[in-house]
Amino acid sequence: MTNQGPSDATARQRWPLRAFVTVFTSVFLCCAGALLLYLHQSVRTPSDTPRQFLVVESGTGLYEFAGLLVKQKLAGEKWPVVAWAILSGTANSLKSGEYQIEPHESPARILGRVSRGDIYQHRVTLLEGWSYQDLIVKLGQQTKLSQELGSLTPRQIRESLSLTANSPEGLFFPDTYFFVRGESDLDLLDRAARKMEQNLKEAWALRASGLTLDTPYQALILASIIQKEAMRSSEMPRISAVFHNRLKRKMRLQADPTVIYGLGDSLKGPLKRSHLKKDNPYNTYTRAGLTPGPISLPGRAALEAAVKPLTTQELYFVAKGDGTHQFSNTLKEHNAAVRQFRN
């Protein structure tokens, strides 16, 4: 008979504990693995939703954010979103703002975008040749802009934007501007004003010698008239030459767009010869020189044309009806062109 020592007895006593620990560990790892697999599938599975906007307000916590995803059917449950945010280290980096969620985006992808702050940029385009009123109407149609202009007087707007001109007409650069939800229309208008200042400054620095213009503001006024007269930017320097030639000879500009601007809402229907005789500060048929201010938003091409006209002897032009103009040196030539193209 073999005698068993104390060590063998102790080993037999430890065996059930080791087996329990092994089984428990295996079960735990299997459960943890299954849980991680379910978590991964939950946050990586694309949602079956159309394109939509997700608005994350300032101060939104992780649990609230997860609830927002569930509410908009961008996630099935809250806890996978919360758990994934904690595991991925994005739990404390949620950025407030408006996000455009594309079709079939997964909760994990959405969480990553919100943590990076990929906020959706809205856009609004201000067109060349628009009046200031056209601009204000367009901004008023942007529901994602915070509307402030409606509560301000024209004087308050000029003071807020540090505009020195008596009229805001023509002081904003026509371009496409991007903005985020909640930005104010006044902020966007300020950006447009600063961009016009910069473009006008750059154009004025390129001006030709011997101009009849004394200040950048006069260049802005002439550019606004050129913008309304020209259908094609390629003709702008030539139209500018006509106006410069007339100014040098003390001739009236006789630009129809200035008459139309001066008549305002009183103009019903097409411009008639009788309208050309109605005197107002903007009627360049009855008054010499430039108008008191711009009549439209001029673009970069018009600004450069105003300060860099072609060298010509032309004093007249008339629209051909195809987007181009017939230019003439003499009144006799011009009258013949009017008969040809106006008839």
Residues 221, 237: one domain? yes
In a domain, 186, yes or no: yes
In a domain, 31, yes or no: no
In a domain, 45, yes or no: no
More reliable by pLDDT, 227 or 9? 227
The backbone torsions φ and ψ at residue 47, rounded to the nearest 5 degrees and listed phi first, read -80, 145
- State which of 134, 166, 199 marks the end of a domain: 199
Scanning the structure block, which residue is given the tokens 């050129």? 226
Question: Does the pLDDT value for residue 269 go beyond 90?
Answer: no
Q: Please measure the distance between the N-terminal and C-terminal CA atoms of the chain and give it in whole angstroms.
A: 134
Rounded Cα gap, residues 199 and 174, in angstroms: 11
CB 107 within 8 A of CB 69: yes
pLDDT tens by residue, 315-333: 999 999 899 999 999 999 9
The CATH number for 76's domain is: 3.30.1490.480
In a domain, 29, yes or no: no
Rounded Cα gap, residues 39 and 156, in angstroms: 56
More reliable by pLDDT, 20 or 134? 134
What tokens does 283 get? 């009627």
Residues 71, 190: one domain? no
In a domain, 249, yes or no: yes
- Decide: helix, strand or coil at residue 77: coil
Residues 6+ apart with CB under 8 A from 40: none
Residues 107, 131: one domain? no
- State which of 149, 181, 199 marks the end of a domain: 199
Residues 238, 327: one domain? yes
pLDDT given for residue 45 in this prediction? 83
In a domain, 308, yes or no: yes
pLDDT given for residue 9 in this prediction? 55
Q: Which domain does 181 fall in, by range?
A: 122-199
What pTM does this model have?
A: 0.82
In a domain, 187, yes or no: yes
Residues 169, 206: one domain? no
Task: Give the other-Cβ count within 10 Å of 298's Cβ.
Answer: 32
Residues 134, 79: one domain? no
- State which of 77, 93, 116 marks the end of a domain: 116
pLDDT given for residue 35 in this prediction? 57
In a domain, 36, yes or no: no
Type and span of the H or E element at 125: strand 122-125
Residues 105, 228: one domain? no
Residues 210, 188: one domain? no
Question: What's the CA angle centered on 281, arms 279 and 286, to 5 degrees?
Answer: 40
Question: Does the pLDDT value for residue 38 go beyond 80?
Answer: no
Question: Does the pLDDT value for residue 71 go beyond 90?
Answer: yes
Question: Does the pLDDT value for residue 216 go beyond 70?
Answer: yes
**Residue 123: band (very low, low, confident or very high) from pLDDT cuts 50, 70, 90:** very high
Q: How many CA atoms lie within 13 A of 228 on its CB side?
A: 19
Residues 146, 273: one domain? no
- Decide: helix, strand or coil at residue 146: strand
Question: Does the pLDDT value for residue 17 go beyond 80?
Answer: no
pLDDT tens by residue, 145-203: 999 998 888 889 989 999 999 889 999 999 999 999 989 999 999 999 999 999 999 99
Residues 6+ apart with CB under 8 A from 247: 212, 253, 289, 290
Rounded Cα gap, residues 130 and 227, in angstroms: 10
Q: Cα Rg for the chain, rounded, in angstroms? A: 35
Residues 212, 284: one domain? yes
Residues 212, 157: one domain? no
pLDDT given for residue 84 in this prediction? 87
Residues 226, 330: one domain? yes
Total domain count, the chain:
3
